[in-house]
Amino acid sequence: MENEITKKEETALARPSERPRGFEEGTAKEDLIIPRMKLLQFMSPEVTEEPDKFKAGSILNSLTKEVLSDRFIPIFKFTQWIRFNPRDEKAPGYDPAFAPGAVIWRSTDPEDPKVISEGAFGENGEVPLATKFLCFFSYFPGVDMPIIVSFSKTSIKAGRRLLSLCKFANCDMFARAYKIKTVKETKDLGGTKATYYVLSVDPAGKPTEDEFAFAEGLWNDFHAKPVQVHEDDLAGEEGEERVPF
């Protein structure tokens, strides 16, 4: 009986039934910016500006800059395409109307003409101008806010693995937990070597009852609403060299 009471109290603390003071107007979900799980590379601003505090290969909450644990619960998935302006003015697709690294356009619609024309490889293997992101709206136990775990480019294989594990589990996506880790890789880029980190994902069993309830509450609140993703330095997250596909 005592354990049951404790569980109920913990759940009540995690998801208060009464609106906290100061939020009387209510908050539209589409007005909230959801932080990302940010993978730090060697040239990430956090690493170059505060090397004693941040290390390449770490994963952070992009809003709070807190280091995240390796265990998370994906809640729902959405795909996003973003076209970034290249940082190099001589790079293909550079648009002088936008600052280097700026977002030129974004879309979650696979039938969007921009996605069709700029989000796929060309007939001769030309790299797409837009980057595809597999995004998982997720819950990291112990973190009060939801986090977007996104996979692109060099980490897209990990994103497809996660999606496959979720799909073939044949249950609600948030009925399974997973562990995420970072792996250092080196690639030869025409005579120069680029070292960077990629993501890897493995199953981590089932969530606890309280974790499942919290994740289910987030699904109820957000799955049918537009998600505004925090995009701080998203263009450079693969490293300043923008490691190719």
**What is the reported pLDDT for 176?**
98
**What is the reported pLDDT for 238?**
45
**What is the reported pLDDT for 226?**
81
Question: Which pLDDT tens digit goes with each residue over 98-139?
Answer: 999 889 999 999 999 999 999 988 777 788 999 999 999 999
pLDDT > 90 fraction of the chain, expressed in percent and rounded: 64
Q: Amino acid letter at 137?
A: F
Whether the per-residue pLDDT at 187 is higher than 90: the answer is no
Whether the per-residue pLDDT at 7 is higher than 80: the answer is no
pLDDT > 70 fraction of the chain, expressed in percent and rounded: 87
**What is the reported pLDDT for 140?**
98
Q: What is the mean pLDDT of residues 207-228?
A: 93
**What is the reported pLDDT for 206?**
97
Q: How far is CA 50 from CA 43, 44, 45, 109, 144, in A?
A: 11, 10, 8, 38, 26
Q: What is the mean pLDDT of residues 44-52?
A: 93
Q: What is the mean pLDDT of residues 190-201?
A: 89
- For residues 245 and 228, give the distance between their C-alpha atoms in angstroms, rounded to a whole number: 26
Question: Which pLDDT tens digit goes with each residue over 127-186?
Answer: 899 999 999 999 999 998 999 999 998 899 999 999 999 999 999 999 999 999 999 999
Pair 36, 234: CB distance under 8 Å: yes
